[in-house]
Amino acid sequence: MVSVTTYRARWIVPVDSRPIENGCLTVANGKIISVGDSRSPSAIDLGNVAIIPGLVNCHTHLEFSHLSSPLSPLLPFTSWIKAVIGYRQQHPDEVSSAIRSGLQESLRSGVTLLGDIATTGWTWSDYTAAAQQPRTVVFQELLGLTGPRVASQVALAQQPVESSEVPTGLCYGLSPHAPYSVHPDLFHTAVQQANARALPVAVHLGETAAECELLRHGTGEFREFLMSLGLWQADIFGDRSCREWIDALTELPRSLVIHGNYLTTDELALMAAYPQITLVYCPRTHAAFEHPPHPWRDLVELGGSVALGTDSRASNPDLSLWREMQFMAQTYSDVPHHTLMKLGTINGARALGCGHHAGTLTAGKRADLAVISLSPSGCENPTYQLLNAGHEVVGTMLEGNWAWTHDDFQAGRQLS
């Protein structure tokens, strides 16, 4: 016998259509059956809350989830990278527990789908350790600039991963890290493998002005950084740009350009021409590194795709995508909250190849959702007020089951 449950809330926010005041959402067999303004007498009244689609965090590094605060110094950027390298070397045995911790933190912030960059020391079981976990696209990171390292990473990129090996709810992808850390031969091998095996790809691109200087002129702090590590190779830097990486990504069915803080108008226009390429903006990390205003709105105006990520606890105080969107609402006060919601739901789901079953509250899709408590004074217009300070995630549902609820939110019923 199929169990059917209907929930009533102050607002239902489907994202792909107008918010519904005092609406109802019905779930059965792990899926959404209906969304509307019906007055079902058997509905569970959640009270002064908004039901929204489960949030989608397109970019994070869960291996750093044990950090209580970001690594320092953040500037110059290469000093922060040294701190990242040092942390990895000092905590090689904590990767699995950090991933598991990060998944639970993500769940508590309303995230039901995410993209994680995994380096070494991880296993598939890390992403399935708990009965209720966000669905994850695991991007195997590739790093290598010189001989033996490049060869080993090429072999890793070519290593077959059979679909039968990947647990239900997970997907596999490749992440050639960035132009300053990946030899062109390794990058092109990764692209070829992704194309042949229909794998998604995530790359860090245009993250800093120093990266662009390295590519264009072979000078600056990145040259000094690579020389200090014995990795400098003059023949692969200079007279280059982010565009050549984007050109290669146009061959793929799906790819993510992470950060993109310094992409040019020409590079953004190229991305806009290929909707399968999504720019992933990490708002609070972007602000922490004191970059100039991000070009996400320029890409949207050009018709391109933008989604959101938290990056990791190495550069961010937490893994809450909801707080990323609230930060954006404060930073871009002229943008309707409903527009920002699309970046953290429907756009992210499409970017990770899950748009057919996630990202909106639509009949037939999985019943993956988040519940947002609203201020006592109410939320008269979620199009402009949903992301207001004080509105917080109090519940997360995966396939119709409560995966996490706040102490003040019991079994889908908000307490007074």
**Closest-CA residue to 88 (of 54, 122, 56):** 122
Record the pTM: 0.96
pLDDT for 113-171, tens place per residue?
999 999 999 999 999 998 899 999 999 999 999 999 999 999 999 999 988 889 999 99
pLDDT for 65-85, tens place per residue?
999 999 999 999 999 999 999
The whole-angstrom separation of Cα 280 and Cα 267 is: 15
Contact 247, 241 (CB under 8 A): no
Mean pLDDT along residues 257-275: 98
Task: Check residues 210 and 1 and name the one with the higher pLDDT.
Answer: 210
Decide if pLDDT at 92 tops 50.
Answer: yes
- How confident is the model at residue 410, as a pLDDT? 59
Q: Is the dihedral of CA 383, 388, 391, 397 positive or negative?
A: positive
Please name each of the domains of the chain with its CATH number: 4-54+359-414 (2.30.40.10), 55-351 (3.20.20.140)
Q: At 24, is the pLDDT very low, low, confident or very high (cuts 50, 70, 90)?
A: very high
Mean pLDDT along residues 292-299: 98
The whole-angstrom separation of Cα 221 and Cα 342 is: 37
pLDDT for 362-407, tens place per residue?
999 999 999 999 998 878 999 999 999 999 999 999 999 999 999 8
The whole-angstrom separation of Cα 269 and Cα 259 is: 16
CA angle 392, 44, 403 (to 5 degrees): 50
Q: At 209, is the pLDDT very low, low, confident or very high (cuts 50, 70, 90)?
A: very high
- How confident is the model at residue 414, as a pLDDT? 42
| Residue whose pair of structure tokens reads 């609203």 in the numeric block | 374
Decide if pLDDT at 1 tops 70.
Answer: no
pLDDT for 227-248, tens place per residue?
999 999 999 999 999 999 999 9
